[in-house]
Amino acid sequence: MNQTPTSRNFKRNTAGALVNEQLQRALSNVPAGFVDKRARARDKLPEFDALRDQARDIKNHTLAHLDLYYEEYEAKVAASGGHVHWCETADEACKAVVEICKSHSARTVTKGKSMVSEEMNLNAALAEAGVEPVETDLGEYIIQLRGETPSHIIAPAVHLNKDQIEADFRATHTGLPPERNLEEGAALVYEARQILREKFIAADIGITGANMLIAETGTSVIVTNEGNGDLTQSLPKVHIVLATIEKMVPTLEDATTILRLLARSGTGQEFSSYTTFSTGPRREGDPDGPDEYHVVILDNGRTKMLGSDFQEMLRCIRCGACLNHCPVYQAVGGHAYGWVYPGPMGAVLTPSLIGVDEAGHLPNASTFCGRCEEVCPMRIPLPRMMRNWREREFERHLSPATVRSGLSLWAFFAKRPRLYRLATGFAARFLHLWCGGDGKLETLRFAGGWTKHRDFPSPEGRTFMAQWKNRNG
Amino acid sequence: MADPAKRDAILARMRQSLSVGADDEVRRKTVKDRIKAHKPNLVPARAQLPHKKQVELFREQAEAVQSTVTSVARDDDVPAAVADYLRSQNLPQTVRHGDDPLINKLPWRKKAPTLELNKGIADPQDEVSLSHATVGVAETGTLVLTSGSDNPTTLNFLPENHIVVIKAGEIRGTYEDAWQHLRKRDGERTLPRTVNMVTGPSRTGDIEQRIELGAHGPRRLHIIIIGG
Ligand code: SF4
C-alpha cells in the first residue's frame, strides 16, 4: 500500500516545523552541508551546464521511447539470468517482494536506501509477512529506530541532531556498556557499523533501489557513499532491485553523463564513493554475489504522467538539489510535506502520484524564487509545474481562502518579473501569509516549551535564512 | 513470478500515453541504433591528456577523496609496498585476495616473508583485502573493479582496509574509456555481474552533514600504482 500521506495538513505541519527547535537546529546544517559544496563542485567542472542540457535531452529521448527501451532492457535482464516483475501499484510491488521472500523462507532482509521502498511502504508489508526489514544506510537505520520516515531524499535523517541520535543508540543498543563515549559522530558511525555488520551477514535477501536502469546491458545502478548498498546486494543469496519506470537510460555512456551530474548536484562530491553496476545473478565461476537477481518495476501512476503536462518530472534523478536550495524546505524540513517526496520535486510529483485531493496544498509550498529550477541538473521546470498544479487546484475550487490569497500574491509578482526578482524576502512574506496574517504563528497556542516565554513572530521583512543566522549566532 | 499480462498492460499504457503504436519501425530503429552506437556524450576536457598526465591526475583526484596512493617501479616491488603499508598503519600482516593472475605471480614469499596470504572471498574476520583494479579513471581518481574469481566483489566492501593494485597502463582518462575497455574485453551489450566504481573510502554525512569515513565499507583505501 502507498505510505499514508499527511499532506492535507501541510499548513499545520509547517507551522509546527517552524517552532520546532531541534528541527531548526538540524536544518541549519543544510547550507554548508549541501549548498556550498554543490557550488564548489559545479565551479570545478566547466562543462557542468552543457552536461545538464545533454542529460535533459537523454531523458527526453528515453521517455519518448520508454516502451521500447523497456523491451530492450527486459530482454537483457532475462539473458543475464535475472527476472523482471512488472507492478502497476505499490500493493502489487509489495506482494512481488513478499512472494520472493516467502519462496526463500526469508527471515531477515537487509535494505539499501530506496525511496521507492518508502513509496511502497514496503517495510510494513514485510513485517506483516513475518520478515524483518533492516535498513542499513546510516540515516535510514536511525529513522527506522525512531519509527520515522525520511525527511530528505538523499539525507533521510537530516532533521535530527547528534544528541538525539546518541539517545536513540543508547536506548536501542542496550547490550553495550552504558558508560561508553558517543559524543563524537565517529563513535556513532562506528557503533552502527558494528551492529549492522551482523545483520548483513545474517540476511537472507538484500533489497536495493536503483538510481538508473540501463537498456544496453540490462543493468541496475546504485550510487552510495557508505558501502551498505553493496554489502546488501553482494552477501545474501538473493538481490531484489526496486525501481520505478522513469529510471531508464539507453546506454552506459548515457548513464555516465547523468552520473557526472548526480553527486555534484546532490552532495557536492565529484563522484560518490561507490557507483555499482549490477547485471543478473552471479556468473559461473563467481565465488560471491547473489544466486538470484530480481527487478521489481513499479508504475504507480507514472505512465499517466507520460505525455502529460508533468512528463518532464519523470526526468528527475532524485539528487536532492532542489530540496537543498529551497527556502521553504530549508525553513520547514521534509516531514511537513506529509508524504515520501518533499521539497520542490515532491510538490510536483506528489499530486501526480497520490492525487490533488490529498496533496493539493503542496504546490503552494513555493515562493517561486526559481532556485530549484536553477540548480536542477535535469533542467526540470519545477516552478512552472507547481504553477500548473496551483492553477488546476484553483479551478477545482479546492483552495481554502488563504491559498487563494497566496495565489493572488504570487500572481501579482509573476506579472511583474522585475519586482519578483527584487522581492528577496518573498519567502518570509509567503510564510507570513501562510501562517495566518496576524503576525503570530498560530502554533504558539500549542507549541509550549521554549516558546512559552517569548513571542515568536512570523517572519516580517527579513528572509528566513537571515532570521536563522541571527538566531543561531 | 513475473506476470506477462501485467508487463503488456504497462507497456500498452506507456504507448497510449505517448500516442504511439507498438509497430512503429522508425522508433524501433532509433532505439536499436542508439544502443548499438553507444556514442559518448560530451566528455569533459579535464582528463583528455597525455597518458603520463592522466596518471598524475588519477593520483591527485584519488588523494583528494582520502585515498592514499604509492607508486612502485615494477610488479616485483608490490609485496614490500603492501607489507610496508600494513606496518605503517599498525595492521596485521595478513591479507585476503582472489585468484588474480597479477597478484598470484608476485614474489610474495621472497619479498614479504612475514605476510600471510589467504585466497578467496572476504570473511567477516578479514581486516585487509587486496584487489587488482581493471581500470583506473583519472577524471575522479576512480577505480573500476569487476567481479569474478580473480577479484571477488566482497573484498571491495567487507574488510576495513582495502589495498588495490593497478598498473599505470591500466589508468585511463574517463569513464567512457573504461566502458570501451570492457566492451573490448567481454563483448558488446554485456557486463560482468558487478562493476564497482570506487572513489575513495566509505563515508557518510548522515550525522549533521559532517563527513565520517568508514561507514560500512573500508575505512582506508590504499592504491599502489605499478610503473607510475
Ligand atoms: S527535481 Fe531536479 S533537483 Fe530536484 S531531485 Fe529531481 S533532479 Fe534533483
Give the CATH number, domain containing residue A59. 3.40.50.10420
> Quick check: CB of A346 below 6 Å from ligand 1?
no
Position A418 scores a pLDDT of: 45
Position A397 scores a pLDDT of: 63
* Dist. CA A426–CA A469, nearest whole Å: 17
In chain A the first and final C-alpha atoms are separated, in Å, by: 45
- Residue count of chain B: 228
Instruction: Tell me whether residue A376 is in a domain.
Output: no
Instruction: Say whether both A80 and A204 belong to one domain.
Output: yes
Q: Which long-range contacts (CB under 8 A, 24 or more apart) does B116-121 make?
A: B118/B94, B120/A287, B120/B96, B120/B152, B121/A287, B121/A288, B121/B152, B121/B154, B121/B155
* Dist. CA A76–CA B151, nearest whole Å: 24
Name the least confident of A168-172, B149-153, B210-214: B210-214
Domain closes at, from A282, A298, A314: A298
Residue B20, class by beta-carbon neighbours within 10 Å (0-12 exposed, 13-18 middle, 19+ buried)? Answer: middle
CB atoms inside a 10 Å sphere around CB A36: 11
Closest residue to A282, CB basis, from B7, B27, B193: B193
Closest residue to B35, CB basis, from A66, A72, A139: A72
Pair B2, A82: CB distance under 8 Å: no
Residue closest to B204 by CA, chosen among B196, B192, B214: B214
Q: Which of A319, A325, A373, A379 has most ligand 1 atoms within 8 Å of its beta carbon, as the pocket-test mutant?
A: A319
Question: What counts of helices (H) and strands (E) characterise chain B?
Answer: 7, 12
Q: Does B15 touch chain A (CB under 8 A)?
A: yes
State the nearest Cα–Cα gap between B90 and chain A, in angstroms.
Answer: 19
SS3 state of residue A84: strand
* Dist. CA B153–CA A453, nearest whole Å: 58
A304: left (phi over 0), alpha (psi -120 to 50) or beta: alpha
Domain closes at, from A298, A326, A349: A298
Which of A57, A103, A288, A302 is the best mutation test for B, with the most CBs of B within 10 A?
A288
Q: How far is the CA of A332 from the centre of ligand 1 (A)?
A: 18
Pair A110, A237: CB distance under 8 Å: no
Residue B109: pLDDT band (50, 70, 90) is very high
* Dist. CA A27–CA A24, nearest whole Å: 5
What is B47-226's CATH topology?
A: Rossmann fold (3.40.50)
Q: How far is the CA of A325 from the centre of ligand 1 (A)?
A: 11
* Dist. CA A249–CA A162, nearest whole Å: 38
What cell was used for A318? 532524485
Pair A467, A47: CB distance under 8 Å: no
What cell was used for A142? 536511525
Rounded to an integer, the average pLDDT of B48-64 is 98
- Find all residues with CB under 8 Å of B222, minimum gap 6, and list them: B67, B68, B69, B70, B85, B161, B162, B163, B164
Atom of ligand 1 nearest to the CA of A321: 3
Position A116 scores a pLDDT of: 96
Q: Report how many domains make up chain A.
A: 2
Residue B102 confidence (pLDDT) above 80: yes
Atom of ligand 1 nearest to the CA of A345: 1
Residue closest to B134 by CA, chosen among B180, B95, B85, B72: B180
Domain closes at, from A241, A273, A298: A298
Q: Does B197 touch chain A (CB under 8 A)?
A: yes
What cell was used for A35? 549548498
- Residue count of chain A: 473
Residue closest to B132 by CA, chosen among B158, B109, B105, B92: B105
Position B97 scores a pLDDT of: 98
> Quick check: CB of A154 below 6 Å from ligand 1?
no
> Quick check: CB of A387 below 6 Å from ligand 1?
no
Residue A279, class by beta-carbon neighbours within 10 Å (0-12 exposed, 13-18 middle, 19+ buried)? Answer: buried
Which of B11, B26, B35 is the best mutation test for A, with the most CBs of A within 10 A?
B35
Q: How far is the CA of A381 from the centre of ligand 1 (A)?
A: 10
What DSSP string describes B91-159? --SEEEE---HHHHTS-HHHH-TT-EEEESS--TT--EEEEE-SEEEGGGTEEEEE-SSSS-GGGGTSS
Task: Give the DSSP letter of residue B8.
Answer: H
What ipTM describes this predicted complex? 0.98
Instruction: Tell me whether residue A178 is in a domain.
Output: yes
Instruction: Tell me whether residue A4 is in a domain.
Output: no
Residue bearing cell 512570523? A458
* Dist. CA B72–CA B81, nearest whole Å: 8
Residue bearing cell 500515453? B17
Position A4 scores a pLDDT of: 79
A294 strand-pairing partners: A83, A240
With CB atoms and an 8 Å threshold, state whether B65 touches A303: no
Instruction: Tell me whether residue A262 is in a domain.
Output: yes
Position B2 scores a pLDDT of: 62
Instruction: Say whether both A93 and A221 belong to one domain.
Output: yes
Integer-rounded Cα radius of gyration of chain B: 21
> Quick check: CB of A349 below 6 Å from ligand 1?
no
Instruction: Say whether both A65 and A208 belong to one domain.
Output: yes
* Dist. CA A279–CA A32, nearest whole Å: 37
Rounded to an integer, the average pLDDT of B105-127 is 96
Which residues does chain B have within 8 Å of residue A193's beta carbon, measured at their own beta carbons? 214-216
With CB atoms and an 8 Å threshold, state whether A83 touches B1: yes
Position A424 scores a pLDDT of: 37
Position A451 scores a pLDDT of: 31
Count A/B contacts: CB-CB distance under 8 Å.
277
* Dist. CA A223–CA A450, nearest whole Å: 40
Residue bearing cell 560518490? A272
CB atoms inside a 10 Å sphere around CB B128: 26
Question: What counts of helices (H) and strands (E) characterise chain A?
Answer: 26, 10
Give pLDDT < 70 ranges for chain A: 1-2, 397-473
Q: Does B73 touch chain A (CB under 8 A)?
A: no
Instruction: Tell me whether residue A319 is in a domain.
Output: no
Closest residue to A217, CB basis, from B14, B153, B189: B189
| Ranges in chain B annotated CATH 3.40.50.10420 | 47-226
Mean pLDDT of chain A: 86
Domain containing A424 equals: 406-471
SS3 state of residue B187: coil
Residue A198, class by beta-carbon neighbours within 10 Å (0-12 exposed, 13-18 middle, 19+ buried)? Answer: exposed
Instruction: Say whether both A434 and A289 belong to one domain.
Output: no
Q: How far is the CA of A384 from the centre of ligand 1 (A)?
A: 14
Task: Give the DSSP letter of residue A213.
Answer: E
Q: Do the strands A219-224 and B171-172 form a parallel or antiparallel pair, or are they unpaired? A: unpaired
Q: SS3 helix, strand, coil % of chain B, rounded to 5?
A: 40, 20, 40
Position A151 scores a pLDDT of: 92
